[in-house]
Amino acid sequence: MKLKHLYKIVLLLIITGFAVSCSKDGDEAPQLMVSTKTVSFEPEGGTSEQITIEANSTWTIENSGISWLQMTKTSGNNGTTVTTITALSNESGSSRSVILNVEAANGQARRIVVTQLGSLYPTYNLTPKAPDETEMSSTAVELAAKMKMGINFGNTMESQVEGEWVNGNKITEEYVKFVKQKGFNAVRIPCNWVWSHLSDPDRMKINPEWLARVNEVVKWCVRNDMYVMLNIHWDSGWLEKNITPAKKEVVNAMQKALWEQIATNMRDFDEHLMFASANEPAADNAEQMSILTSYHQTFINAVRATGGKNSYRVLVVQGPHTDPNKTYDLMNTLPVDKIPNKLMLEVHYYTPATFTILTNGDEEWGNMAYYWGKGNHSTLEPERNATSGEEDVVDSDFQKIKQKFVDKGIPVILGEYASWRRTASNGNFVPKDLDKHNQSVDYWATYVTKQARVNGMVPFWWEIGNIFDRKNNAVLDQPLLNAIIEGYK
């Protein structure tokens, strides 16, 4: 009897435990987790990264875009399941999207939003090559250290007709050698592509003759051991004046088409050549900064996709307006590059603008300043002394860039900076205290150059024929050249 009673107790415990277990299972909270909420595709399509779905019941995915979108798995059971999404090529001129509804038997539901850009222009990445790291080993930091004195071939290849803004003087190899002999080993080449060099605007096709001409100038620089930064400049403003939601899709399509052609044409140059996404993109708030980042991302993706040496080329992206303060405030993330340590940032500097670039008379936003910096203010013409933007501001502006970018391993190019002399030969406003004015111009050049270097930046002087005579390969302004060189000491 005692043994039979013991069996009853054990059986009761087993039944009770089973009942408790069933009760717990029945009370388990419904679960459905999806590892991503959004997936985006380029016009040519492709396959997404793996998407993980975790649930404690069966689930299904409703795919209303099945005509152009396929999934490896559209249903699953209790546990963890991995699926991927593949998009076909989008040959239309419009973007498309679909919402994938993930629904579980436990009542939970999630959404995955899939978008794909349209093919506004044909792809020009027609001959991609396998990655080639030969002569491309330098990181962005290492490459920045190799660039010493930098200069612009300004107002030349970005004008509507090459050289028309500099008395018709085109770049020659003799001029490249002359500039190198004067101490510059890095050059920025601002370039026009859309404005006047499309052979088929409807297809965003660059004139092959223009590509060959740009390639020729780059070749002269590289074979004379100069580092080159080639960009898409103002170019009629198609990018930098259209950082808006309404223009985002078409600008990204243009950016992709242009950089596929430029990158393919220049692909065989070694690490002496860098590409720069834009010039002075006008982003003023977080929304516009996000759109600008998408333009830079398209640039990076397009260049990398062409392969060869472009797989490892150093690429340069521009801060909003290339203004140090706006860049510090708004540029909180960089676009993604699958190749680590190959990105640089670019800013420009013309502070104070009343001294550096306001040369044709006073404006509502400020009056011309002829005198700048410690010891250079005039007593003859005190109303033309700079009242802001002097040494303390330069120090502060550059220290911000150093702190936010340089100190974090992101090299910074000071892509443009310059100050101009005001003389009877180049303007209608001549300072009364000409010696003080000339001292101010030279001092600004030295001070800004030196502070850029102190704060880890690589300066490129904006030269448009003020220092050098391109026609005769001669120095026009030796004191200003000396002032720039002094800034590197």
Domain with residue 234: its CATH number is 3.20.20.80
Please tell me the predicted confidence (pLDDT) of residue 5. Answer: 52
Residue 178 has pLDDT above 50, yes or no: yes
Q: Work out the average pLDDT over 42-50.
A: 91
Residue 15 has pLDDT above 60, yes or no: no
Please tell me the predicted confidence (pLDDT) of residue 160. Answer: 95
Q: Could you say which of 78, 100, 116 is where a domain stops?
A: 116
The number of beta carbons lying within 10 Å of the beta carbon of residue 226 is 22
Q: Could you say which of 80, 100, 116 is where a domain stops?
A: 116
Same domain, yes or no: 68 and 102:
yes
User: Which residues constitute the domain of residue 193?
Assistant: 140-487
Q: How far apart are CA 35 and CA 294, in angstroms?
A: 23
For 379-392, the pLDDT digits (tens) are: 999 999 999 999 99
Residue 335 has pLDDT above 50, yes or no: yes
Please tell me the predicted confidence (pLDDT) of residue 117. Answer: 82
Query: Are 448 and 440 a contacting pair, CB within 8 Å?
Result: no
> Residue ranges of the alpha helices (H) in 310-459?
324-330, 353-356, 391-404, 434-454
Same domain, yes or no: 158 and 46:
no
Same domain, yes or no: 92 and 152:
no
Q: Could you say which of 81, 116, 151 is where a domain stops?
A: 116
The residues near 440 (Cβ < 8 Å, ≥ 6 apart) are 355, 370, 371, 372, 373, 376, 419
Band the pLDDT of 18: cuts 50, 70, 90: very low
Please tell me the predicted confidence (pLDDT) of residue 27. Answer: 67
Does residue 121 belong to any structural domain of this protein?
no
CATH number of domain containing 76:
2.60.40.10
Same domain, yes or no: 83 and 146:
no
Does residue 39 belong to any structural domain of this protein?
yes
Same domain, yes or no: 112 and 144:
no
Does residue 10 belong to any structural domain of this protein?
no
Does residue 190 belong to any structural domain of this protein?
yes
Residue 448's closest CA among 480, 475, 411? Answer: 480
Does residue 129 belong to any structural domain of this protein?
no
Residue % of the chain over a pLDDT of 70: 94
For 53-103, the pLDDT digits (tens) are: 999 999 999 999 999 999 999 999 999 999 999 999 887 767 888 999 999
Number of domains in the chain: 2
Does residue 126 belong to any structural domain of this protein?
no
Residue 8 has pLDDT above 60, yes or no: no
Does residue 164 belong to any structural domain of this protein?
yes
For 139-177, the pLDDT digits (tens) are: 999 999 999 999 999 999 999 999 999 999 999 999 999
Please tell me the predicted confidence (pLDDT) of residue 411. Answer: 99
For 104-134, the pLDDT digits (tens) are: 999 999 999 999 887 789 999 999 999 999 9
Phi-psi region of 45 (alpha: psi -120 to 50; beta: other; left: phi over 0): left
pTM equals: 0.83
Band the pLDDT of 280: cuts 50, 70, 90: very high
For 399-436, the pLDDT digits (tens) are: 999 999 999 999 999 999 999 999 877 778 999 999 99
Same domain, yes or no: 264 and 190:
yes
Q: Which two tokens stand for residue 342?
A: 């190959």
For 437-484, the pLDDT digits (tens) are: 999 999 999 999 999 999 999 999 999 999 999 999 999 999 999 999
Same domain, yes or no: 276 and 313:
yes
Q: Work out the average pLDDT over 225-254.
A: 97
Mutual angle of helices 208-223 and 248-265, in 10-degree steps? 60
Same domain, yes or no: 148 and 103:
no
Identify the three-state secondary structure at position 89: coil
Mutual angle of helices 434-454 and 478-487, in 10-degree steps? 30
Q: How far apart are CA 43 and CA 169, in angstroms?
A: 41
Does residue 4 belong to any structural domain of this protein?
no
Same domain, yes or no: 44 and 187:
no
Band the pLDDT of 489: cuts 50, 70, 90: very high
Residue 25 has pLDDT above 90, yes or no: no
Strands (E), 207-321: 227-231, 273-276, 315-318
Same domain, yes or no: 318 and 457:
yes
Same domain, yes or no: 189 and 322:
yes
Same domain, yes or no: 338 and 477:
yes
Band the pLDDT of 19: cuts 50, 70, 90: very low
Please tell me the predicted confidence (pLDDT) of residue 44. Answer: 85
For 200-237, the pLDDT digits (tens) are: 999 999 999 999 999 999 999 999 999 999 999 999 99
